[in-house]
């Protein structure tokens, strides 16, 4: 990729994007200010920084999608050598899909639920009349789906977004963005929430387009992903670029304190035993791990559970049965953090649902605090139910939209006298690092990190012995992720709460977990101490999983 970028820089073609002193506001002080951005053909430029730093707003301005009421000003705003400040509505419509393609973070939201994947990919081709006739468009759709690594494209083209896995949906979204062969691709967090193997596949597709001569503007909070694909990086904070340059230089020899703080907040095996927040000022590598050792008391016992799903016939295929889990056994002890890893469809979420009592296993048993948990009616589980809590990936969707924060946390305070509930809510908010006045607010007015803290406070209200955490930090930016991980580590140490922690980020597991369970095709292929399994794996799948994980050389970056 870098060779193509260098050739482009010295050639006669103008940059795909050439912006000087960009400012974007909505009637008040500018949200984005003084940004210079250049993207050339055959080059990947990354924008990194925390939520609210202006990354997405800057990228959307390249499509005239900054939002209603936005004022976009720049000393220079040229796209493919043309002055975009003079563009009319028709010019911007022609630009989208043909000159510029957009890949969003959440494919399920971005894809039309009423259209098939084939129709979604074909839209840009028919709308801009890029190919003559339905036959030629259909052939291009199948070709593009195959190019992004979607198996059996003829079958998948007839399916809807909800019928695809997360990885297939994301690849379908990329296919719709590149179907018109745009010169510039804008990818806004395209791999967030994807497991490491699917993430690697998606990045290969994008890298392939760059090698073919397209420009790529990548927005990501994952600095390891950026290190593996970007030629140059711009670090944004509060709407301004605070650090920029060649990727290797910025990420291994950062100049700005903010960049150093972002890098120091990345969880990894090197960060075990230390806090991630404020880590740039207090880094130590004494090899010790001051966290308390788990106790011997067994909180959760899972023995030989199995689960199968029946699939209906359709699209010319016979009915089938999918083995979601097969003979899975493990235990979780008091105060222990056990990580669950594996690609999408490996059985992690099915296992979590069985542990939570939301799904009955076909075979095997689950015991919670020594008592039967699976295979019994919910009425018999009711007494133990508060001791097992859940923190989801998307906190907001798990909240009743009519409730204030105090109501959400109060749901788990049924045993408290009404007069003491308000004080207990404030106590729980303070325990997760939130101010007391948050109690009166609606969750929709909170940031992502604040909502996740409310979700954790709700779980703690029941004084649980075990919390099941399902990708609780995967959609959070680096700084907020660090705060939540530090919070979970503190609560584990202070309260002795055990965690069953599902994550696709092996760095998070290496930082937080005591033991790790590796799932593959419904089987538990490897389990043991996290330092042993993720440093010296014996199973071929675990080795492949580790090989797919993007890496950033932290030792040099933090020196």
CA 484/CA 478 separation, integer angstroms: 10
CA 373/CA 362 separation, integer angstroms: 14
DSSP 324: E
DSSP 363: E
CA 488/CA 486 separation, integer angstroms: 6
Start-end of H helices in 316-399: 348-355, 378-381
The β-bridge relationship of strands 337-341 and 515-520 is parallel
The DSSP element (H or E) to which 43 belongs, if any, is none
The DSSP element (H or E) to which 547 belongs, if any, is helix 540-548
CA 327/CA 522 separation, integer angstroms: 9
Whether residue 266 contacts residue 507, with contact meaning beta carbons closer than 8 Å, is answered with yes
Whole-number pLDDT of residue 312: 52
CA 118/CA 4 separation, integer angstroms: 32
| Nearest-5° Cα angle at 505, 350 to 226 | 140
CA 225/CA 549 separation, integer angstroms: 9
DSSP string, 263-290: HHT--SGGGTTS-STTGGGS----S---
Nearest to 246 by CA among 258, 237, 254, 238: 254
Whether residue 287 contacts residue 453, with contact meaning beta carbons closer than 8 Å, is answered with no
Whole-number pLDDT of residue 221: 84
pLDDT in tens, the chain (559 residues): 544 444 444 445 789 999 999 999 998 899 999 999 999 999 999 999 888 889 989 999 999 998 888 999 999 999 989 999 999 988 898 888 677 888 876 666 778 888 999 998 998 888 877 788 888 999 999 998 988 888 889 999 999 988 887 678 888 888 888 888 889 999 988 887 677 887 888 888 889 889 999 999 999 888 989 999 999 999 999 999 999 999 999 999 999 999 999 998 999 888 888 888 864 333 333 444 556 666 689 999 999 999 987 755 554 555 556 788 999 999 999 999 999 999 877 889 899 999 999 999 999 999 999 999 998 999 999 999 999 999 988 888 889 989 999 999 998 887 655 667 889 999 999 888 889 999 999 988 887 778 888 999 999 999 899 999 988 888 778 888 888 899 888 888 888 899 999 998 899 999 999 999 999 999 999 999 999 999 999 999 999 999 888 877 655 455 5
Whether residue 503 contacts residue 341, with contact meaning beta carbons closer than 8 Å, is answered with yes
DSSP 421: H
Whether residue 268 contacts residue 281, with contact meaning beta carbons closer than 8 Å, is answered with no
CA 4/CA 470 separation, integer angstroms: 41
Two tokens, residue 303: 């023995």
Tell me the three state secondary structure of residue 216.
strand
Tell me the three state secondary structure of residue 187.
strand
Whole-number pLDDT of residue 286: 41
Nearest to 267 by CA among 227, 203, 224: 224
Domains in the chain, please, with CATH? 298-557 (3.40.50.300)
Whether residue 244 contacts residue 256, with contact meaning beta carbons closer than 8 Å, is answered with no
Distances (CA, A) of 360 to 313, 338, 352: 24, 22, 11
Which residues are within 8 A (CB) of 460 and not within 5 positions of it... i.e. 6 or more apart?
389, 428, 431, 432, 491, 495, 497
């Amino acid at each position: 990729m870098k060779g193509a970028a260098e050739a482009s820089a010295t050639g006669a073609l103008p940059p795909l994007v050439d912006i000087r002193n960009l400012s974007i506001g909505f009637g008040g002080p500018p949200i984005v200010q003084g940004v210079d951005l250049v993207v050339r053909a055959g080059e990947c430029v990354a924008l990194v920084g925390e939520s609210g730093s202006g990354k997405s707003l800057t990228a959307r301005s390249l499509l005239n999608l900054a939002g209603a009421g936005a004022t976009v000003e720049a000393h220079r705003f040229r796209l493919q050598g043309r002055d975009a400040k003079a563009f009319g509505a028709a010019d911007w419509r022609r630009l989208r899909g043909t000159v510029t393609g957009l890949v969003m973070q959440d494919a399920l939201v971005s894809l039309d639920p009423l259209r098939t994947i084939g129709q979604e990919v074909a839209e840009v081709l028919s709308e801009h009349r890029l190919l003559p006739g339905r036959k030629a468009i259909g052939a291009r759709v199948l070709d593009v789906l195959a190019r992004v690594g979607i198996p059996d494209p003829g079958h998948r083209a007839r399916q809807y977004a909800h019928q695809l896995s997360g990885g297939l949906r994301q690849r379908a979204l990329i296919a719709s963005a590149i179907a018109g062969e745009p010169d510039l691709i804008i990818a806004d967090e395209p791999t967030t929430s994807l497991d490491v193997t699917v993430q690697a596949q998606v990045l290969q597709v994008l890298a392939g387009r760059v090698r073919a001569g397209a420009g790529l503007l990548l927005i990501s909070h994952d600095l390891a992903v950026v290190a593996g694909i970007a030629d140059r990086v711009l670090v944004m904070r509060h709407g301004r670029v605070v650090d920029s340059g060649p990727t290797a230089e910025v990420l291994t020899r950062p100049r700005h304190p903010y960049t150093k703080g972002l890098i120091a907040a990345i969880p990894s095996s090197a960060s075990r035993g230390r806090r991630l927040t404020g880590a740039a000022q207090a880094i130590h590598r004494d090899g010790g791990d001051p966290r308390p050792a788990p106790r011997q008391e067994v909180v959760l016992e899972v023995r030989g559970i199995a689960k199968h799903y029946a699939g209906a016939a359709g699209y010319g295929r016979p009915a089938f049965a999918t083995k979601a889990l097969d003979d899975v056994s493990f235990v979780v002890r008091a105060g222990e953090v056990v990580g669950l890893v594996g690609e999408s469809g490996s059985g992690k979420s099915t296992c979590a649902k069985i542990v939570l009592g939301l799904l009955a296993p076909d075979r095997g048993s689950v015991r919670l605090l020594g008592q039967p948990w699976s295979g019994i009616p919910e009425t018999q589980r009711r007494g133990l139910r508060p001791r097992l809590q859940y923190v989801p990936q998307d906190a907001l969707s798990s909240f009743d939209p009519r409730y204030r924060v105090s109501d959400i946390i109060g749901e788990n305070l049924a045993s408290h006298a009404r007069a003491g509930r308000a004080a207990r809510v404030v106590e729980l908010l303070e325990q997760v690092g939130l101010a007391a006045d948050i109690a009166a607010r609606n969750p929709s007015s909170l940031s992502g990190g604040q909502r996740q803290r409310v979700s954790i406070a709700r779980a703690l209200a029941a004084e649980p012995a075990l919390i099941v955490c399902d990708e609780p930090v995967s959609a959070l930016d680096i700084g907020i992720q660090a705060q939540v991980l530090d919070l979970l580590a503190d609560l584990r140490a202070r309260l002795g709460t055990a965690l069953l922690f599902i994550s696709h980020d092996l760095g998070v597991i290496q930082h937080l977990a005591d033991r790790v369970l590796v799932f593959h095709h419904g089987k538990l292929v490897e389990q043991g101490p996290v330092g042993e399994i993720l440093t010296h794996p014996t199973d071929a799948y675990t080795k492949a999983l580790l090989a797919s994980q993007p890496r950033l050389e932290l030792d040099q970056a933090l020196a």
